[in-house]
Each structure stands twice: as structure tokens, then as C-alpha cells.
Amino acid sequence: MKSLTVATIQTHPVFGHVEENIEAALEFIPDDCDLAVLPELFSTGYQFRDKTEAMGLAEELTGNAETGAATKRLTRAASESGTTIVAGLAEKDGDRLFNSSVLFRPDGSREIYRKVHLFMDEKSIFTPGDLGFPVFEACGTTIGMMICFDWIFPEAARSLALAGAEIICHPSNLLLPWCQAAMVTRCQENMVHAVTSNRVGTENRTGTTDLGNSATEMIGGELVFSGRSQIVEPQGNILSSLNATETGVAVATIQIVEKDKQFTQRNNLFEDRRPELYWS
């Protein structure tokens, strides 16, 4: 069993104020923290008007590129603090844009996940992720990453758990009110920890498209982010959380019991699966 101190950071970024957003988020990371998770697109803000605007704020993340302000600053922060940091960034790769999550280790190395399930207007800006759901060794355990709307697809968390993830880091800019409760279920059905890091506040940078249904307000117009960042353990207990409007940090000490999927004396969550009977 391994004990880790983890933190979820909840911020209120100002669109386009990259340097200020980065420093505001880093201020919340506590000392002696093993793992800290920051929100989706935490440095730029969320509501890009078009792909050109997003490209201008995106960063190169592959190879040895360290051209972006967030990449440089988070690499340094992880090294100086000894904390593994996971953060959501806009990534440019040639003429493609990805909504990505990056894991920064204290040794200077980093890993990337590209959001697979794009939400609403993101489909006009980003390319769907092409790296699948990889799992990485970090801070003495195995970590997988999801981003925001991935929550509604059980296959995302299950893929990470089957690949060996003990902690799912979940940078988010959540609008819908159901994710936080759903992540409790994701933890229970996979017996993993999850750290959801959401933002608060509003953005209103685009026009509104009338779809004639309840989704109207989510196509352009004002977006209201739901906060309620949380740390959840494998039995579904919320160990620490924030409310719907505050900025700050929630911290918890978690106990990692590697690959323990025994649900009852006679039931193992993974060994009892019947994939030959499931629809793909």
C-alpha cells in the first residue's frame, strides 16, 4: 500500500491572460503534495471564437518543444516542488489542434493525452484525440488521464482501469451538472481513484445558436462552469471537494492498493467480465 497526497485545483481563468492564469493556478498547489491536477484549458480559457484564435494560444507539446509559457512554467514548477502536475492545455501539432492533458514529472519528463470525446463547439476547433487512453508511471503509481466530457463514456475510465491506472486525473471545464456524481460511479465500477479538477465563472465570447431544445445555451453565448472539483476513492466516497463558485484547492491523502479489484469474496470486477457478450 502506498500513501499519496493529492490536490485538485479549482480556478477562474480570464480568457487570453495566459501568464496570470498560470500563476494564479500554481499559487494553489500546496507544499509537500505528490500530485496536483489543474483544470482543462486552464491557462487560456475555454471559449475560442475560431480555430485561428485557438492556434494562436496553443502550445507545442511533442518532442523537446518547450515554446509555450505554460509548458515552461509547469515543467519548472514540477521540478522545484517535487510535485507531479497534470494540466489541460491547447496543443498545436502542425496544422492540427488538440484539447490535451499533460502530465509533468519532477524529473522534467512529460506525457500527453488528447481528448477523445469533443463537446459541442469543440468540434469546430479541435481534432479528436488520436492517442487512445494511455497509462503512465508517475509519483510511485500508475496514472491515466481523461478530459471533461470523457466522463459520460464509461469506456474511457474502463479502458484506463484495464490498462492499470490506479488514479484517473480528470481536468475539466464542466457545464452539465451530472459529471461529479457520475465520477463516483466511474470509481466504484473500476475501483480506482479519480481527481476531477474543474473551473468556475462564466465566459461569453460567441453568439448563440438556437437549436430549439435545452442545449441552446451550450452553443455559443454565455457558458457557466459548475466547479465542484473533487477527489474520489475507489468505494465512491468523496474525500475532499470544493463548491460551485469558489477558487482554491481541495487536498486528500489516498491509499493506493495496486490492482485490487476484488469486490466480494467471490467477485473480481475484471475477472468476472463477459466481453464476449457485450456490444462494442
pLDDT tens-place string over residues 251-267: 999 999 877 899 999 99
- Region 144-169: what's the mean pLDDT? 98
CA atoms of 4 and 34, how far apart (whole Å): 6
Mean pLDDT (the chain) is 93
Query: What percent of the chain clears pLDDT 90, i.e. is strictly above it?
Result: 88
Give start and end residues of each alpha helix (H) in 58-178: 69-81, 154-162
Q: Alpha-carbon distance 98 to 104, whole Å?
A: 18
> What is the grid cell recorded at 232?
474520489
d(CA 159, CA 132): 9
Q: What is the mean pLDDT of residues 162-181?
A: 96
Determine the longest span between alpha carbons in the chain, in angstroms. Answer: 56
pLDDT tens-digit map of 210-242: 444 444 444 568 999 999 999 999 999 999 999
Nearest 5°: the CA angle 58, 51, 85 is: 30
Using one digit for the tens of pLDDT, what is the confidence trace for 102-130?
Answer: 999 999 999 999 999 999 999 999 999 99
**Helical (H) or strand (E) element with 117:** none
> Residue 246 has which C-alpha cell?
469558489
In the block, cell 515552461 appears at 72
Which residues are known to be catalytic?
Answer: 40, 115, 148
39-61 mean pLDDT? 96
36 — pLDDT class (breaks 50, 70, 90): very high
Report all structural domains of the chain as residue ranges with CATH numbers, in order of start.
2-277 (3.60.110.10)
pLDDT for position 99: 98
